[in-house]
Amino acid sequence: MIEILRKLSIGSHRHASEEELLRLADGEMRAWQARRLHRHLEQCWTCRSRHEQVQGAIRDFVEHRQRIVLPHLPLGNGRRDQLLKRLEELTLDNTQAWTARAAQFLRSAAASMMNPVFATVLIVIAAATAIVVVWQHNAPTVSANQLLDRAEVWDNSKTAVTRAGVVYQKVEIRTPSVTFDHSVYRDIEGRRRPRRGSASLQQAALQSAFNAGGVDWQRPLSAYDYRKWNAQLREKKDEVFSEQRGTLTLRTSTNTGEVQEESLTVRNADFHPVARRLVLRDVGEIDISEVSYDVLPWNAINVAELFEPEPPSPPLAAPLRRPLVPLPSLAALDQAELRARLALNDVGADTGEDISVARNRSSVTITGFVETEPRKREIDQALAGLPLVSSSVSTFEVRNQQLATVDQSQPSSIRQQDVVAQGSPLDTYLAARSVSPDQASQVSRDLLDDALEIDRQAMALDALEKRFPQAARNSLSPENTALLQQLFRRHLSALNQTIQKEQQLIGSYVDDSSSDNALTAANVSTADLVRVANENRQLSGELLAQGKDGQRSGALILADLGRSLLECERMAKSLGPNTN
């Protein structure tokens, strides 16, 4: 059985042996084994070169024997007679009718089947084959925790490599719209840190999705990061299943958050992570698969370009060694993250802009894109001086140029459509009340701004709730708890102010009967608040949409909008005690 498994495991991760190459060249290998080895040769230059060398040696030997040796070998009388006799037998066999040969074969087979020993052997062979097939399809699997434990051991073990140097890992990232390669370099001994340059457009586009799925750009196949993401899920379903290609896959499904499903695939032999897959509710599938993994000597790469300068070693004459800098504690990282979020809130960068807060075992990194260079400097200055916090924010200059080109492609048709379009339900409603066009336009702009701000603040509160659930808040230090409450109160205050502003905006156009002093709702979650805020945004969009047949009147939409604002206000009041 072990020999069968060994033969089945020929793939892109193991080089072919000399025996396998010789059997392939001699045609002694079975068809399915030959196909697997041919697929390996298509991917592995080393084995392909060795295979060509074997074929060349055989070809040279045959040519040498044909031209030099064979003409000088005598053919003895006995061997000549045997050859002539064999040729005569072959001629007689070929002239025999095929029906006669078939009948003879069937008679011999029937006679053999009557033999109990032969029948028993056939039954044993068939049973063994069935057992192997069933075993292949039902191979025993490990639990989710065992898989992650062994994968982390492989990631962290220096015995996974055979020599000092730098790990070079190339992965392929596939999204619904683009496929590209990403190269990762990592110091085996952990002394040098990878240099973090400016984020590429591809990295920036995927940063939000990677943050939601707990994927580190520098370690996209990390089992540690997968466990960290998996552990913070409140509702999840873990499944481990094996595949015929010699891998095990842990798949996690969840009904909460942006990620609908995520999986980590490892090799059966050593639990080396080779693939990771994310399924996001809005974006779709993102596949990360390992293309190659190797250990390179330091002289094979540009160290200055790929890694930060190595800290100077202590002088030889120093009597004592410098102590290693320990990793920061979880409390210190929590404090760094919360202070960074407060600093972003001070400059209004935590809602409405493409800014993400990423955290690893040693620091907190702020990444994303903003519109202008002054805005980038403002955010950098707000984050400057915060311990364990670094900023990697860029601008949208290249993307803005592309968008400007697209916007200029159809200017005339858009303007012409605006001229002939009917007014929105709000315009019609305000015109009937003798509101001037300028004042109606200002009301439309203010209403849209308020609806979007309510939606952003609700999502910010929900993101804080998911980032720091009750279990995580219970482990925070008193100082970090105070920082979290301060951040929560800021978002809640901004939400309440915007709700009141929108209520005042539409107050003169909505019946007062929709507002009352009813008690606040009980057992309200931030997810409920997000749902009602989204409903308010959709009603505002319906009120401001261009008129069309079958559309509801402005009075009906405004009445529903007033009720949704009242529901938002009640939920916000219910969430207020959570800040204590």
- Using CA atoms, how far apart are residues 501 and 401, in angstroms rounded to an integer? 35
In 392-436, alpha helices (H): 397-407, 411-420, 425-432
Residue 37: its pLDDT value, please? Answer: 82
- 337-394 pLDDT, tens digit per residue, is 888 888 888 888 888 778 888 888 888 898 888 888 888 888 888 888 888 888 888 8
Handedness of CA 505, 508, 509, 514 (dihedral sign): positive
B/e letters for 285-318, b = 16+ CB within 10 Å, e = fewer, are ebbbebeebebeeeeeeebeebbeeeeeeeeeee
CA pair distance 362, 336, nearest whole angstrom: 11
CA 179 vs CA 172, 182, 433: distances in Å: 7, 10, 55
CA distance 413 to 141: 61
3-state helix, strand, coil in the chain (%, to 5): 55, 15, 30
What contacts 26, CB < 8 A, 6 or more positions away?
A: none
What is the token pair recorded at 292? 């190659």
- Determine the pLDDT at residue 516: 47
Q: Are 147 and 248 in contact (CB under 8 A)?
A: yes
Q: Assess contact for 386 and 399: CB atoms under 8 A.
A: no
Rounded Cα distance, 101 and 183, in Å: 63
pLDDT score, position 265: 92
- The pLDDT value given to residue 276: 92
- pLDDT at residue 5 in the model: 40
What whole-number distance in Å separates Cα of residue 136 and Cα of residue 390? 50
Q: How far apart are CA 151 and CA 510, in angstroms?
A: 61
CB count within 10 Å of CB 340 equals 23
Rounded to whole angstroms, the Cα distance separating 571 from 533 reads: 10
Three-class DSSP category at 141: coil
Residue pair 341/350 in contact (Cβ under 8 Å)? The answer is yes
Of 281, 259, 258, 262, which Cα lies nearest the Cα of 273?
A: 262
Q: Hey, what amino acid is at 378? A: E
Element (H, E) at 266: strand 259-267
How far apart are alpha carbons 560 and 554 in whole angstroms? 10
* pTM, two decimal places: 0.43
Strand order, beta sheet including 179-187: 179-187, 166-174, 284-296, 273-280, 259-267, 247-253, 237-243
Contact between residue 192 and residue 312 where contact means Cβ atoms under 8 Å apart? no
Partners of residue 240 on adjacent β-strands = 250
Please give the angle made by the CA atoms of 532, 538 and 542, to the nearest 5 degrees. 145
Using alpha carbons only, give the angle 357, 360, 362 rounded to the nearest 5 degrees: 115
Sequence-separated (6 or more) residues with CB below 8 Å from residue 495: 454, 457, 458, 461, 568, 572
Instruction: Please give the Cα distance from 103 to 15 (Å, whole number).
Output: 47
Q: With beta carbons less than 8 A apart as the criterion, state whether 225 and 210 touch.
A: no
> Across the strands, what pairs with 216?
219
Condensed to tens digits (0 to 9), the pLDDT of residues 394-437 reads 887 745 555 555 455 444 343 433 434 467 888 888 888 888 88
Residues of the chain with pLDDT under 50: 1-2, 4-12, 134-135, 137-140, 159-162, 398, 406, 409-421, 513-520, 578-580
Question: What 3-state class would DSSP assign to 456?
Answer: helix
| Helix H or strand E encompassing 274 | strand 273-280
Amino acid, res. 225: D
Question: Could you give the dihedral angle defined by the CA atoms of residues 447, 452, 453 and 456, in that order, rounded to the nearest 10 degrees?
Answer: 160
